[in-house]
A and B are shown apart, each in its own frame.
Chain A
Amino acid sequence: MKIVRHLAPALVAGLFWAVPLGAQDSTGVIAGKVVDQTTQQPLANVEVAVPGTPLRDLSKNDGTFRLTGVHAGAQRLRATRIGYGSQFQAVTVTAGGASTVELSLVPAAAILEPVVVTGYGTQRREAITGSVSTVNADAANKGVTTNVDQMISGRAAGVDITADNGEPGAGRQVLIRGGSSIGVGGATNDPLYVVDGVPINNVPTEPQAMGVFGDPMLARNPLNLLNPADISSITVLKDAAATAIYGSRASNGVILIETKRGQTSGGPTFEYDGYVATASPAKYLDLLSSAEYVQYVRQQVAAGNLSDSALIHLGILVKTGPNPGDTSRVISNTDWDRAITRTSVTHNHNLAFSGGSEATRYRASMNYAKEEGVTLSTGLERIQGRLTATHSDLNGRLRIGVNVTTSRVNDTYLTYENQGGFQGGVFQNVVVYNPTLPITMTDSLGTHYYDPAGSVHNPVAMANQLIDIGHTTRTLGNASADFDVTPGLTARVNVGLDHSSGDRQEYYPNASPVGRSLGNGLAQQQNLDNATQTIQTQLTYQRQVGEGTSLDVVGGYEYSKFKSNWVQAEGIGFFTDAYGFNNLSAATTRNANDSAYEFRLASFFGRANVGFKDRYFLTGVVRYDGSSKFAVGHKWGLFPALSASWRLSQEKFLQGGPFSDLRLRLGWGLQGNPGVNPYTSQITLTSGSGATYPWGDVPHGGVIANSNGNPNLKWEQTSQVNGAVDFGLLSNRLSGSVEYYVKNTKDLLLTIDVPQPALAPQQLINVGKLHSSGVELSLDAVLVSHPGLVWRSGVVFAAERSKVTELATSTGFTTGAVSGQGQSGQNAERIFPGSPLGTFFGPVFLGVDNTGKQVFFCTSATTGCDTTAGPGNGRTTTGLAPNATDYRELGNANPDFTVGFHNQVTWGKFDISFLVRASVGAKVFNNTALVYSAKANAAHNENFLRPALTDPTGINEPAIFSSRWIESGTFARLQNITVSYDLDLPLLTRSARSARLYVSADNLVLLTGYSGLDPEVFSGTGTAVRGIDYLTYPRPRTITGGLRLMF
């Protein structure tokens, strides 16, 4: 393969000097107008072009266009616009003359760009042979979209997007076709993001919180820097034929994001878009009220199940007079869930202007967004600016472009747990903190939070006193130059830089018992600096040979380098809270940590797309990738793909049939996944407290090997076969596609237990296989098309079945740690050959016996099993969970199918759109209910979930994970509904081109049988964990009102 590395640059270089420029011929002009066939209204922004030439123009607001310098003779004119079917028309041009053409376009069912970004170039939609979903900004989800992923949720078949929780700017789990990896470290099923052609290293940009209460909160979405208003289109590459051009990083799919460019049609424009939104939690935890709690405790004391001392812990003693005995017990009624949540306000303002000349175009935009979370002390503020400019020179042969986005995101966090243990954060205390206690109290010290030291804490005090904030400044820039060496041959260089600097500042004050218990005040400052530099060079050759036969070849080289530096400083022990985290030198103890890493990726790639007679298309792709992360001798990998499509509708035998469009596609390809940490192939020595040992009571810094290394570490490989039918009926008023795919991953990157002795208990190796197959369906229709009323509707459907087919061990391994007090060491899931990822595994719950003990299924082989009911009907007698040999599979967290249903109705000046998403058949483990249904909490003066009051489980029953807590996660959600209205006010319309008012509601209706807050849950940290719900940040219901103006 070495020769390829040298040959490719040589070839690319050679092509530069190849072909001299052709001379100009005698030319003419084509002018005309484009209208909507239904409404007969003029259409703006229609691209009218002569295919195979650089000649193109955009129609103006009155629908007119003009092409100059057209070769004399018979020409074919193509008119394309988003939301309309392409139109071809034959024109005869005379030298020096002008031809006039009237074009009328038919609305298409799907609002799609006629030209699709496919990675290192674009393709006409007709010529695409792989599996690609596109969502145009005009058609994307409305409502409060603070990040890009929200725009395509429920829009693209096979793209499953779940927000981690309801936090502002929360991170997201994006699974394209279910993912292809088991995942090491949890994040490697993420797709590759490419913004304006530059691949993004999508890692957290802000340092993690220190995690006082179990695992630290999840990272917010690293793509929060992008403003959804700047996005022009999002393209999802799903199958290997489409993604292989991104080779090693593409096995989990690719999301291409294109931002808006400057437009000149109609002169300079100025846009304003602003909205105000208000949100509140969609659902609250079902906890005992103060009165119910008091009643329960009294009942249990009377029954002898609780000691009398439980009574004196109801409410607090308040002094009523000067004498020692002058006290009375005051029982408060605090709903802690409502006490820490609020109705929040969000506002967002976008300003953009664009314009320029034929040669130089620009677009600049500013965004300010301030989003409050629905709990106290959470929020996100973004100030973002973006500038894009393009310039063409040398008669359009040289095109230069620059994009720069820079943003500052200020995050405010609440301290809570994702996976809790003994002492929890805010949400755990919301559940358990005694409802008879007050939020604040007044005594000789004045009014202050009621928050005595102990293992439980006043959640409102925690939310307000514990400070946790972060800031990220991120700049994403790229500059590109395209040069037409000869007609059809274009050389391109693109340079990208992605730099982020994120900090995190935390202070746990003395004023809080939490801060005191951490050593009398604890402050932490962290900084994370990430930088990716990318350079791409490529040559593109496009040639149209006669009628409908085309050749499109791309070849290039890409190199990127990623560097990360992290530094943390900590101070413990402050005599005052006044410094906060700003004066670590005042602390009695100080600690500091830092780390750095770097990795590089070098690639050569090529793609050829051949089309015959506008009917047969063939695409071949090769990418040769080298990553520094893998072992010596295994760093380079080759990723090929081959795909073809056949436009049956162009064939004579189908002409005049019901199909306005019919296409078959078939593709195969190979992709990789390099989602491992750098240096894992080596045995490396690390320092830190784990390596330090105190001889003579003085700590001696030491080193220990933290990894076994693996001299054979290499790519994980996924092969995928994709077959599809695309169809259009009734002049494309109904269109859609059906896709079927089969994916096989081998050499899975997995950490497995290794034989001892070993430097670490586990090692990262390539072992195991994963198989999945699925069907995707998308259907778009123009249901009504009248002047004055247009109703577009679309459905996406996806169903996938996957399973692990091979693992290193026959017994598989457990994952999905159960959270909560008394749950150490318990796992809820198992990865096992023959089962899908996310399979729940544990005791089978049979019921509660008459003594209040939980009874589980067991077999006679295990101790404490009563099998008198006959073989196969064993019941445990110990009151504890059965032996692990009696665990069974309890369903899995993957849905049987998912559906997205979107609608857009334009009626006069009104425009109504709504999106419904549904998921059927997934199971969710309600970890919250498992842990907080324990009535024994009352013995510790702690609250519990109300449904436990009516269940027969005994007061002393421990919380035991079992099938009892696995629920159906089927749901249908009215994700968004937006009503907008075109303003016709003289005051505005005199100067404005358009003005639009809108009202939008997000998460308005959720239909589900799931008993927890929301069945769409963060999947959990750990290896391939899915579907565990534990004390999540509540999801909001949001109402938005906004105004969009264009001048």
Chain B
Amino acid sequence: MKRFLVKASIGAAGVLALLVPLQGCTDLAETPPSLISTSNFFTNEAEVLAALAGVYAQLRTTAPEGPLYDAIEMTTDEMVEPIRGPDWNDNGQWIDLHNMTWTPTSIATSNFFNPIWNNPYAGIARANLFLSAVQNTTFANKASIIAEVRALRAFYYYLLMDFFGGVPIVTTTEVAKHPRNTRREVFDFVEKELIAARDSGLPATRPVEDNGRFTQGGADAILANMYLNAGVFTKDGAAGGISATTYNSCAGVLVSGGVDACLAADSAATRLLNSPYYRLADSFPQNFRADNYKSPENIFVVKFIAADGLGLDYAMAILHYNQYAPLTPWNGFAVQAQTYRAFDSTGTPPDKRRNVILVGQQRDVLTGALVNDRSGSPLIFTVTIDSIRKATEATGARVYKWPVDPNHVSWNSGNDFAWFRLGEMYLIKAEVENELGNPATALQLLNALRARRDTVAPPLPAVSRPVILRERLFELLGEGKRRQDLIRFGQYTGRVDDPSLAGGKTARPDYYVLMPVPQSQIDANPRLCQNPGYGTGTCP
């Protein structure tokens, strides 16, 4: 009997064990342990600043060496990526880009224009999420930080407008299919946002520990650039009035307050030139070195530091494999002979700003030791590139404007990339003064810039549009401005490559002044229409 009781209680225990879990869990709510939900964030200034850092972080995608930068440089006469033996064909993406043979589905579109569409929009989406999430919270400096986010969002829209023309203006957070706005509408939106940010929150300057954050000067610099390009930026492509062959002047385009765009550009640039916070750097190279955060010329930059994932890797794209030991750079982007030789026109010796180009016998960029190519012969960069399809490892000169950081971490260097620096404001003001019929003022500004130490170019005798375009090339080579400039001057699609370069670019149709909307974007959002010239689905 006792044995029976023992066994019966074992049985009962077993049955109980069965029943207990039946009360168990059917609760399936999710709380991510190492991620944050938006609902429990944005509650204090530290969290808000963390989200702000995330909106800024997307700026890195706009800097060298990224798709946007590549698309600007490769589609102009500043750079070319020849096929080097088995390397750099990459399914023809570089040649498609350089020779302007792209279509809405071609390789340049999928590998460059599609990320150029997505990256700024991701920044916009982060800004929209930020602005919507902070609506009902309170934290210190709220007005200033909101102005900062609006200015950043405006900059991302500015990039989209520059590349694609009219894009959907979206300020809400839901994923939805929006139609395109006109380019003029985007222009007006960016202008309105920048003015609002400048006048209601952004500080005039920042303490050194906030170097890199938006200021009133940043908003003015973008505005000055936009107004200068107003003859382009307010028109939807060649069919919409952009001239692909003649100068597109800002004169006659009315902007906020009914002001002529040239006058607006002039006053924005003047505000910066007269600002106590900016002056020309003591020397030209100071603007590009690893310590260039100290340059008083910087107005709006993409910040880099020598840390994993946070550094500038531009040197990797241009240096030869053996030039940056122990790293192995990719030996890619070269500058065209015609661009290199353009500097010769400034006299003998040519403008010292050409010294950013590497040519001839090469050295290790850190140790200065002479280096050989991979065959063991001295590495000598040639000026000319014979063929876009048959280059050797030593073919072509290289724009080495941002020297590697002596304290680099792997390929991460700490050089900041300036989207806007004071040098360009001199050029903008000179150009609009010339348009407004004041060539003397224009000449004075250009020569002031040339007089900067380490620029050392003799003063110009006279000013004209071609002189201004050339001066912009010398000052801003490799800084992501050339595409805008060539379009404004009506020389982008008609540009041809140096005759010594076999297989290079020939003249292309006018509609190439705008990039196509990538077909993949139209697939994802059928309400988008295509830019004229690029096939079906053209905007009404």
Q: Which of A565-610 contact B (CB under 8 A)?
A: 572, 589, 591, 594-600, 602
User: Can you list, as one digit per residue, whether each of A161-172 has a CB less than 8 Å from chain B (1) or not (0)?
Assistant: 000000000000
User: Can you list, as one digit per residue, whether each of B317-329 has a CB less than 8 Å from chain A (1) or not (0)?
Assistant: 0000110011110
Quote the shortest CB–CB distance from B163 to chain A (angstroms): 13
Quote the shortest CB–CB distance from A658 to chain B (angstroms): 50
Q: Say whether B118 faces chain A, with CB atoms less than 8 Å apart.
A: yes
Q: Are B111 and A763 in contact (CB under 8 A)?
A: no
Q: Are B32 and A679 in contact (CB under 8 A)?
A: yes
Q: Which of A516, A628, A756, A934 contacts B29 (CB 8 A)?
A: A628
Q: Which of A1-39 contact B (CB under 8 A)?
A: 5, 9, 12-13, 16
Q: Say whether A336 faces chain B, with CB atoms less than 8 Å apart.
A: no
Q: Which of A684-700 contact B (CB under 8 A)?
A: 684-687, 689-700
Q: Say whether B1 faces chain A, with CB atoms less than 8 Å apart.
A: no
Q: Are A826 and B91 in contact (CB under 8 A)?
A: yes
A517 to B28 alpha-carbon distance, docked (Å): 47
Return the chain B residue nearest A422 by Cβ: B330
Chain B positions within 8 Å of A594 at CB level: 34
User: Can you list, as one digit per residue, whether each of A533-572 has a CB less than 8 Å from chain B (1) or not (0)?
Assistant: 0010100000000000000000001010000000000001
- Comparing A243-251, A347-355, A953-961, the segment that makes contact with chain B is A953-961
A961 to B91 alpha-carbon distance, docked (Å): 8
User: Can you list, as one digit per residue, whether each of A393-407 has a CB less than 8 Å from chain B (1) or not (0)?
Assistant: 110011000000000
Q: Are A398 and B54 in contact (CB under 8 A)?
A: no
- Comparing B100-108, B219-227, B239-247, B347-355, the segment that makes contact with chain A is B100-108
Chain A positions within 8 Å of B138 at CB level: none
Return the chain B residue nearest A317 by Cβ: B376
A520 to B327 alpha-carbon distance, docked (Å): 10
Chain A positions within 8 Å of B91 at CB level: 818, 823-826, 881, 960-961
Q: Are A557 and B21 in contact (CB under 8 A)?
A: yes
Q: Say whether B92 faces chain A, with CB atoms less than 8 Å apart.
A: yes
Q: Which of B35, B177, B208, B322 contacts A685 (CB 8 A)?
A: B35
Q: Say whether A455 faces chain B, with CB atoms less than 8 Å apart.
A: yes
User: Can you list, as one digit per residue, whether each of A644-684 has a CB less than 8 Å from chain B (1) or not (0)?
Assistant: 00000000000000000000000000000000001101111
User: Can you list, as one digit per residue, whether each of B379-407 has a CB less than 8 Å from chain A (1) or not (0)?
Assistant: 00000000001101100000000000000
Given contacts A307-B392, A759-B126, A956-B389, contact A822 B87 (CB under 8 A): yes
Quote the shortest CB–CB distance from A559 to chain B (angstroms): 5
Q: Are B21 and A559 in contact (CB under 8 A)?
A: yes
Chain A positions within 8 Å of B32 at CB level: 597, 678-679, 682, 684
Quote the shortest CB–CB distance from A811 to chain B (angstroms): 5
Return the chain B residue nearest A810 by Cβ: B523
A940 to B85 alpha-carbon distance, docked (Å): 8
Given contacts A398-B11, A761-B122, contact A753 B33 (CB under 8 A): no
Q: Are B35 and A684 in contact (CB under 8 A)?
A: yes
User: Can you list, as one digit per residue, whether each of A925-960 has a CB less than 8 Å from chain B (1) or not (0)?
Assistant: 000000100101101111000000000000010111
Chain A positions within 8 Å of B409 at CB level: 519, 572, 589
Q: Are B125 and A705 in contact (CB under 8 A)?
A: yes
Q: Which of A393, A454, A879 contacts B322 (CB 8 A)?
A: A454
Count of chain B residues near A, Cβ 8 A: 111
Q: Which of B506-540 contact A (CB under 8 A)?
A: 519-521, 523-525, 527-528
Chain B positions within 8 Å of A598 at CB level: 33
Q: Say whether B176 faces chain A, with CB atoms less than 8 Å apart.
A: yes
A704 to B133 alpha-carbon distance, docked (Å): 13
Q: Are B28 and A516 in contact (CB under 8 A)?
A: no
Q: Say whether B308 faces chain A, with CB atoms less than 8 Å apart.
A: yes
In the complex, which of the residues A5, A693, A757 has the most CB atoms of chain B within 10 Å of its own CB atom? A757
Q: Are B175 and A758 in contact (CB under 8 A)?
A: yes
Q: Are B326 and A393 in contact (CB under 8 A)?
A: no
Return the chain A residue nearest B111 by Cβ: A825
Q: Which of B41-64 contact A (CB under 8 A)?
A: 41, 47, 49-54, 56-59
User: Can you list, as one digit per residue, whether each of A980-999 has a CB less than 8 Å from chain B (1) or not (0)?
Assistant: 00000000000000000000
- Comparing A308-316, A780-788, A1014-1022, the segment that makes contact with chain B is A308-316
Q: Are B22 and A9 in contact (CB under 8 A)?
A: yes
Chain B positions within 8 Å of A559 at CB level: 21, 24-25
Quote the shortest CB–CB distance from A600 to chain B (angstroms): 6
Chain A positions within 8 Å of B38 at CB level: 683-685, 705
A884 to B208 alpha-carbon distance, docked (Å): 50
Q: Are B17 and A695 in contact (CB under 8 A)?
A: no
Can you give 20 A-B contacts (C-beta < 8 A)?
A13-B19, A16-B15, A312-B377, A453-B326, A537-B18, A627-B28, A628-B29, A628-B30, A632-B29, A682-B32, A685-B38, A687-B50, A691-B57, A702-B54, A703-B41, A705-B38, A811-B519, A822-B87, A937-B85, A960-B89
Return the 7 tightest CB-CB contacts between A and B, nearest first: A702-B53, A689-B309, A755-B525, A958-B89, A756-B121, A309-B375, A704-B54
Q: Enumerate chain B interface residues (CB-CB to A < 8 A).
A: 7, 10-11, 14-15, 17-19, 21-26, 28-30, 32-38, 41, 47, 49-54, 56-59, 83, 85-93, 95, 101, 103, 105-107, 110-111, 117-118, 121-122, 124-126, 128-129, 168, 170, 175-178, 207-213, 293, 303-305, 307-310, 321-322, 325-328, 330, 373-377, 389-390, 392-393, 409-410, 414, 519-521, 523-525, 527-528
